[in-house]
Amino acid sequence: MSNNRLLSYLPTRGGLAKRRGGTLAAMKEQRFPFVPKSTGSLQRGQFWSIPLAGGGFGAGCVVGHCTDANGKVSSRCFIAGVLSWHGAEEPTASQLVGVRVAAHAFCHIKAITTSGGAVLGLANISLHGWPEAAESLSMSTWGFNFPVLLAQRLARGESAANQAFNPTATPPLRSGAAAG
């Protein structure tokens, strides 16, 4: 087996490392922008723009990686976050320093390619307390367009925790409605 053959990716504090012959080697420097074809090129803190319907942009970021019960990293699913940020132009790494993640969930890699299209860079986003990796089925999963819908709501000043926004939440009772 060749030493150049990538055997697996492992989440680390600095992003991903690859395992070669039982040792970890840091991944080579990534060039931006790039269109990801798998999660193998994604690192915690990378971001992409999310075009908003009324003009302007929101931002999504890589929070972490999705693993199976054996710890294997998924090649298509990752933990995506939508940031509490919007602007007239696409986001830059300097604009996102310290910006918080409004919400996160598992997402397919196409959530990036169908919304912003490319990973624009690596930013020092506030990811403290957010998972670097999580086992599949341990949290919600978003559809391809869900980060766009969430970014649009955040740009309008709505909360990511708004019960009306959560498609799995029980709707509140209307005044005068009887509980069944």
φ, ψ dihedrals at 37, nearest 5°: -105, -15
Question: Model-level pTM?
Answer: 0.74
30 secondary structure, DSSP code: P
173 secondary structure, DSSP code: P
Instruction: Identify the segments of the chain with pLDDT beneath 70.
Output: 1-29, 161-180
Q: In angstroms, how far is CA 37 from the centroid of its own chain?
A: 15
pLDDT of residue 69: 87
In the chain, where the domains are located: 30-155
41 secondary structure, DSSP code: G
Burial label for 94, CB within 10 Å (0-12, 13-18, 19+), is exposed
Which residues pair with residue 82 across a beta bridge? 60, 103
pLDDT of residue 33: 95
Give the DSSP H or E segment for 49.
strand 46-51
Q: In angstroms, how far is CA 88 from the centroid of its own chain?
A: 21
- d(CA 62, CA 119) in angstroms, rounded, equals 9
- d(CA 19, CA 83) in angstroms, rounded, equals 31
